Structure 1
Amino acid sequence: MSVSDEQGRSLPCYVEHQFEMNGVEYAVLLPVNIPVDLVTWSADDDSEDEEADLATEEEIDQVFETAKAVLAEQDLLLQRTALTLTVVGEIPELDEAIEALNRTESDDDEEELLCLANFYEGEQEYGLYVPIDPMLVLARINADAKPELLTDAELDELEPLLPSIESLIAEQLFNGFE
């Protein structure tokens, strides 16, 4: 099953959970391939610390081919998909990172990330990172039984339910790694 964005890009997904609310059918989807964040590094003017920010769509457009070539050196295929960049290929360190996260209880709200690569485009440093926590996509199921991305209003309505849905799905996913 795939979900598409306004640009016509699709994201192949597995259906992890379906539920109905107010007569509308929803699905929690998990991307088939590995989601990747492209981050930019910028130096803070007041200190020597660098700060990471998610790359904008324009920045992704500018460096996508370079990022793709950098990951190709690791036998990974970077794809421009709906909602996120994804990678196809074997990342052995990812399984180890997920297992380590399962063994430790963390109260931090910080997202755990696995660095795949860093590279420069001109003077700008970029990094490609895999979030260790699974990326879940909430979608509405239309009359043709196809998933559609939610509007901001729908997301606002469902937001109070998200923590319980995410914990249920995460528990099911992590149990599969034990």
Structure 2
Amino acid sequence: MSSSQFNNELDDVEKVTLKDEAGRSLECYIENSLETDDLQYLLLMPVDIPVVVLAWDDEESEEEDISDAFLIEDNEEIEKIFADAKAVLAEQNLILKYTAYTLTVGGELPPLDEDNILTLEIDLEGQPTSEPEELQYLASFYFEEQKYSIYTPLDPLLFLAKCDVNGNVELVSPEDQRMQTILEELLFDEMEEN
């Protein structure tokens, strides 16, 4: 199923907008919700397609080695390379957006090609090694002699948010003691519905 067919099916699904500290917004579909006494918890999926940018340490090697790549998360670096990244994606009719919590693209992704899938293991400080993540290659470019590549995760990117009685929506902090229990319940309910 192409991403445009997928998005057409979701047009009737309720949406909310997340905002970050910098004032950027991210429109999301509500995948599932759970009501408690004082809050409503929401499992959210971005409307647009999330992307990540990797930088490569050794641009001289013939064969790219994933150990030479690192994820770009610094806002200052993203702002420096954003115009070039946007231009290279525009060549594929994809519109790069500097949204809250993740970069996203609008448009239809190229067909999935097994040769263009990268498996990435992301180690988060203080956490056990997570499951490897598969990413689809979209484009590469150079900025100030540094090679960058843009990928989209094959698995959906989900956010856990809470909505108060006034309708204010914000992400649940990873330090929230109830986060794991609520996330498991929302995901379990989601799997039962499918």
TM-score range relative to shorter protein: 0.7 to 0.9
What RMSD over aligned residues (CA atoms) do the two structures have, in Å? 2.5
Partner Cα distance (2:71, 2:182) in 1 = 26
Give the aligned partner of residue 101 of structure 1: none
The 4+ residue runs of structure 1 with deviation greater than 4 A are: none
Amino acid paired to 2:173 = T
Stretches of structure 2 that go unaligned for 5 or more consecutive residues are: 1-15, 59-63, 115-129
8 Å CA contact 2:50–2:152 kept in 1: the answer is yes
Q: Is structure 2 residue 26 aligned with structure 1 residue 5?
A: no
- The count of residues paired between Structure 1 and Structure 2 equals 157
Please identify which structure carries the higher helix content.
1
Deviations 1:93-140 (A, max 9, x none): 25x87xxxxxxxxxx921011000011112211111000110111111
> Structure 1: any 5+ residue segments left out of the alignment?
98-107
Partner of 1:139: 161
The alignment status of 1:76 with 2:91, answered yes or no, reads no
In structure 2, the residue matched to 1:19 is 34
Q: Would you say the 8 A contact 2:40–2:162 is kept in 1?
A: yes
Distance change >3 Å, CA 126–CA 163, structure 1 → 2: farther
Q: Distance in 2 between matches of 1:168 and 1:134?
A: 16
Partner of 1:122: 144
Query: So what's the TM-score if we normalise by structure 1?
Result: 0.77
| TM-score normalised by structure 2 residue count | 0.71
Pick one of 54, 57, 69 that aligns with 2:71. 54
Q: 1:146 to 1:172 in 2, by over 3 A?
A: farther
Cα distance between partner residues in 2 of 1:41 and 1:23? 46
Tell me, yes or no, if structure 1 residue 93 matches structure 2 residue 111.
yes
CA distance in 2, matches of 1:61, 1:73: 20
Q: Distance in 1 between matches of 2:23 and 2:92?
A: 28
Partner of 1:105: none
Structure 2: how far apart are the matches of 1:73 and 1:30? 26
Q: Which stretch shows the higher mean deviation, 48-57 or 78-87?
A: 48-57
Task: Please say if residues 3 and 82 of structure 1, whose CA atoms lie closer than 8 Å, have aligned partners that are also in contact.
Answer: yes
Counterpart Cα distance in 2 of 1:2 and 1:172: 26
